[in-house]
Structure 1
Amino acid sequence: MAGRQSPQSESTRTGTQSIERVVGMLRVVASRGRRGMRIGEIAATSGLPQSTCARMLARLEIEGLVDRDAATRKYFLGPLLHELGLLARPRYRLSELCDGALHRLADLTQDTLYLSERSGMEAVCTNRALGDYPIKAMPLDIGIRRPLGVGAGGLSMLCAMPEAEAEAIIQANGHRYEKFASFTADFLRDAVAQGRERGYSFLDSAVTPGTGAIGMAFPKDNPVGAISIAAISGRLGPERRENMVRELRSEVRRIEAALLGRPSSARASEDD
């Protein structure tokens, strides 16, 4: 009969859906970084029934893909993922490549520096450096995943993308933004437009009241990562912010040159 799927194609579709569901579950657990999540939070975030989550998590725990703390009843990413990660060979070792830039900027600004890497429609914090200023913006744990646009690093990546691609991501993540303070799809569209005009992203009290951040993505037009500087709002006035942006742009150009395997001329052209 026309339009009827064969048993093999039906099995393939079901198998693909199962893989997607497992990967989605792992992304949900990873979204809290090292803080872990209880099953009720996992069900609410994933949109799956709690009974389904319980069955999946039980199997993933047996396989070593998640780990459950008996005292807190929280789930964490499991040991097998760590073991597999040791064998992975990323195209760019951005965390190592950007480490010097993060620490130079932390020493210069005395504020908190983050490296965010793009993972599909999310940004993952993969490195950070803490400056010496005694009052800090709330530290973001390494490994935390957030929808692109939440945080200055992810927002700067949206600003650097072609408009159609950025809009598609904003639409797809629309329901997720509402879990983050004042974020909405329309708020992000305005923030992206402003970031494109400035040449960097800027958020003030958008995620955490009283704190702000600036961010810059790299490389241009096809961002794989971003560096952001977070501080209390009082340290991000217009004049100081422009000075920070100048230094940030210089470091980002060095990183872009390293990714392309060519000598950096960032200092010579930083005012272009």
Structure 2
Amino acid sequence: MERGLRILSAFTGNRSVLGIADLARTVGLNKSTTHRYVATLTKLGYIQQDPETRKYFLGPRAADLGFAAIDSMELGKVAGPLLQALADETGCTVSMGLCDGPDVVYVDRRRSARRNAAAMDLNLHVGSRLPAYCTSMGKVLLAFKDAAALRQILDHTDMARRGPKTITNREQLTAALAKVRQSGVAVNDEELAPGLRSFAAPVRDRSGEVVAAVNVAVHLTVAPTAVEALAARIEPPLRRTTAEISRRLGHRP
């Protein structure tokens, strides 16, 4: 992996087209080893070869990596203050997550500065992973996948019972995801853990694609109200926050 990254890093603004000898010299490998790595990177689409000169240049997959890195940095910079404002407004713990196969990965987590905040802490932190099928953020991220991608993810998901109301039937989960697509908000009502409720909404980039989800979590011990009453309080600021993050990422409905 390190050698492959060194080869990709050899392509710079003033050295964007390189031959095997140039690459070998730059990364400090012999020609045969360099050619083997270049062949793999070419097959994967990270490098392309000019058929006339036989030299190489960065391919579309490398560009995608660059754009993904930029988008990720932009997302964190844009979302952070808005997530904190949402936590302070609701008095609840607010998180943002991305989809990674069958999991949701936490990339930001904010607690309210209010003295009597209804903070929810499941010992989660940035980098934590939870199964998508039984979390509000996960259900948002799954709901907006295309049919083929969703099917592949669910094929690799063990829908075990984790809370008293976990959806363990694939058809029922698919129906629930359809409702999320329609309403724009996912609800987790004790599906992950006893007493835990959360509400999540999608974040979209400039192309309209759902790139992240934001949730507001609260425990029944600090908010022992009906889920409908809690939703009436939480959903408006949640929707407003995700819409503003999306707008700052360039999304125009």
- TM tier relative to shorter chain: 0.5 to 0.7
Q: Which residue of 1 aligns with 2:218?
A: 231
In the alignment, structure 1 residue 158 sits paired with structure 2 residue 142 = yes
Distance in 2 (CA, whole Å) between partners of 1:195 and 1:236 is: 19
4+ residue segments displaced more than 6 Å:
none
Deviation at 1:185, TM superposition (A): 4.7
Write out per-residue CA displacement over residues 101-130 of structure 1, whole angstroms, 9 at most, x where no aligned residue: 111111111011001022344211011111
Q: In structure 2, what residue type is equivalent to 1:259?
A: L
**Amino acid in structure 2 at the alignment position of 1:178:** A
Which amino acid in 2 is paired with 1:92? S
Q: Which has the higher helix share?
A: 1
How many residues get paired? Answer: 176
Name the residue aligned to 1:178: 160
Task: From 237, 256, 259, give the equivalent of 2:246.
Answer: 256
Contact between 1:212 and 1:236, CA under 8 Å: does it hold in 2? no
TM-score under structure 1 normalisation?
Answer: 0.56
1:138 to 116, 121, 133: 121
Distance 2:134 2:140 in 1: 10
In the alignment, is the contact (CA less than 8 A) between 2:189 and 2:227 conserved in 1?
A: no
Structure 2 Cα separation of the partners of residues 156 and 178 of structure 1:
19
Which of 133, 136, 139 is the equivalent residue of 1:149? Answer: 133
Residue 90 of structure 1 deviates from its aligned partner by 4.5
Question: 1:80-95 to 2 correspondence within 5 Å?
Answer: 89-93=69-73, 94-95=75-76
| Distance across 1 between alignment mates of 2:200 and 2:142 | 11
State the Cα distance separating 1:230 from its structure 2 match. 0.4
2:195 pairs with 193, 206, 210, which one? Answer: 210
Q: What amino acid is the match of 2:248?
A: A
Aligned-pair CA distance for 1:252: 1.1
Q: Which runs of 5+ in 1 are unaligned?
A: 1-11, 17-87, 263-268
RMSD: 2.9
Which residue, out of 69, 75, 96, partners 2:77?
Answer: 96
Structure 1 position 196 matched with structure 2 position 181: yes
Equivalent AA in structure 2 for residue 111 of structure 1: C
Matched ranges for 1:108-123 at <5 A: 108-123=89-104
Take 2:93 and 2:225, find their aligned partners in 1: how far apart are those partners?
12
- Decide whether the 8 Å contact of 1:125 with 1:141 is kept in 2: yes
Q: What CA distance in whole angstroms lies between the structure 1 residues aligned with 2:139 and 2:251?
A: 26
| Cα distance change of structure 1 residues 207 and 136 upon mapping to structure 2, 3 Å threshold | same
Q: 3-state SS of the aligned residue for 2:109?
A: strand
Contact preservation (8 Å) 1:170, 1:188: no
C-alpha distance in 1 between matches for 2:226 and 2:106: 22
Q: Which has the larger radius of gyration?
A: 2
Aligned partners of 1:98 and 1:255: how far apart in 2?
A: 6
Which amino acid in structure 2 is aligned with residue 106 of structure 1? A
Code of the aligned partner of 1:166:
L
> TM-score scaled by structure 2?
0.60
Q: 2:225, 2:143 → 1: CA distance?
A: 23
Between the two proteins, what is the percent identity of the paired residues?
Answer: 21
SS in 1 for 2:249: helix
Distance apart, 1:236 and its partner CA: 6.0
